[in-house]
């Protein structure tokens, strides 16, 4: 596996379900990110982890719970979601948090549908 991988690629869940999204980066990067992409809306930054410590929570509802056990893995735990949470969830990583050269590499995303 190379780059940034995400599983599952597609997920359909009911509002009472609990599920988790997984992201793994094989690039040796130190920073990882969760983004939400909804139709016709800008990419929304959700969480940032640097050296597995959370450095940013962009006012995300508590029904989304991130976990970063190490610099290579990032999870997003989901529970009691709402239909408006249906979106493409993208994971990204970058070598450092330095914005000037902080190219982010994105995973393929998980297409989430909440019924």
Partner 1 sequence: QKEVEQNSGPLSVPEGAIASLNCTYSDRGSQSFFWYRQYSGKSPELIMFIYSNGDKEDGRFTAQLNKASQYVSLLIRDSQPSDSATYLCAASGYSSASKIIFGSGTRLSIRP
Q: Which residues bind partner 1 (CB under 8 A)?
A: 31, 33, 40-43, 45, 48, 50, 55-56, 90, 94, 96-109
Identify the helix (H) or strand (E) that includes residue 6. strand 4-7
Q: At 19, phi and psi to the nearest 5?
A: -140, 170
Between 45 and 60, whose beta carbon lies closer to partner 1? 45
Considering the complex, state which of residue 69 and residue 100 has its C-beta at the smaller distance from partner 1. 100
Q: Is the dihedral of CA 28, 34, 37, 42 positive or negative?
A: negative
Closest CA to 66 of 34, 95, 105: 34
Shortest distance, position 80 Cβ to partner 1, whole Å: 27
d(CA 97, CA 104): 10
Q: Which is nearer to partner 1, 16 or 101 (CB)?
A: 101
Taking the complex as a whole, the smallest distance from the CB of residue 17 to partner 1 amounts, in Å, to 24
Q: How far is the CB of 57 from partner 1 (least distance, A)?
A: 10
Centroid of chain to Cα 85: 13
Tell the smallest beta-carbon distance from residue 85 to partner 1 (Å).
19
């Amino acid at each position: 596996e190379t780059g940034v991988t995400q599983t599952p690629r597609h997920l359909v869940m009911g509002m009472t379900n609990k599920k988790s999204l997984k992201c793994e980066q094989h690039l040796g990067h130190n920073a990882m990110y969760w983004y939400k992409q909804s139709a016709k809306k800008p990419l929304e930054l959700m969480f940032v982890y640097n050296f597995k410590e959370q450095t940013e929570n962009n006012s995300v509802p508590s029904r989304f719970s991130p976990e970063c056990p190490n610099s290579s893995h990032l999870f997003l735990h989901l529970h009691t979601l709402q239909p408006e949470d249906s979106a493409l969830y993208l994971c990204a990583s970058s070598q450092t948090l330095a914005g000037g050269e902080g190219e982010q590499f994105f995973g393929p995303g998980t297409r989430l549908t909440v019924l």
